[in-house]
Amino acid sequence: MRLLHTMLRVADLEKSIEFYTKVLGMKELRRADNEEYRYTLAFVGYGDEKDNTVLELTYNWDQDSYDLGNAYGHIAIEFDDIYKTCADIKAAGGNVSREPGPVKGGTTEIAFVKDPDGYAIELIQKKEDMSRF
Ligand SMILES: C[C@@H](O)C(=O)SC[C@H](NC(=O)CC[C@H](N)C(=O)O)C(=O)NCC(=O)O
Ligand code: NI
């Protein structure tokens, strides 16, 4: 077994694809329309789905906003340099909601950004050892 994808419902598919590809460096892997049920799926990630867990962006044609509620946490992505990534995101007009730095009470360096729908994305500084705290 392996993790295949995480699905996020998005209000503006092109805006979300632009964010995940241009700002976070992912590739658009495939897109599929469902005419009968009026939605489009776009899969984005850092590599082919046969070897990578990806995001499934779901666009419902007749819905232009969502209530994210208070249960969703974040999706975490590892970067070689979260400080440069955050500077680049700010320069591109993105929303860095938590500045890069050590996690409270720990040593792992993290930052948070918000995607166009307000979903939080955690950026984690690449470390040699896998101790993540
Ligand atoms: C391709 C696979 O990874 C899917 O997740 S498609 C599953 C399908 N998705 C939708 O219908 C998305 C639109 C829907 N309005 C929504 O917002 O979730 C799905 O959930 N089908 C239900 C079923 O019972 O087949
Ligand atoms: Ni799915």
- How confident is the model over 76-131, as pLDDT tens digits? 999 999 999 999 999 988 999 999 999 999 999 999 999 999 999 999 999 877 66
- Do 88 and 121 belong to one domain? yes
**67 domain-assigned:** no
In CATH, what number is assigned to the domain containing residue 83?
3.10.180.10
17-42 pLDDT, tens digit per residue, is: 999 999 999 999 999 999 999 999 99
- Do 39 and 78 belong to one domain? no
| Sheet order of strands, 120-125 included | 75-79, 120-125, 109-114, 95-102
Residue 106 belongs to what domain range?
73-132
CB-CB contact of 19 with 75 (8 Å): no
The pLDDT value recorded for residue 132 is 53
Residues with CB under 6 A from ligand 1: 7, 9, 37, 39, 41, 56, 58, 60
- Do 98 and 46 belong to one domain? no
Mean pLDDT of all residues in 57-73: 97
Separation of CA 109 and ligand 1 centre (Å): 35
**126 domain-assigned:** yes
> How far is Cα 33 from Cα 42, in angstroms, rounded to an integer?
9
DSSP H or E stretch at residue 57: strand 54-60
The pLDDT value recorded for residue 103 is 94
**Protein residue closest via CA to atom 19 of ligand 1:** 37
For residue 5, the ligand 1 atom closest to its alpha carbon is 3
Which of these three, 39, 62, 85, is where a domain ends? 62
The number of distinct structural domains making up the chain is 2
**104 domain-assigned:** yes
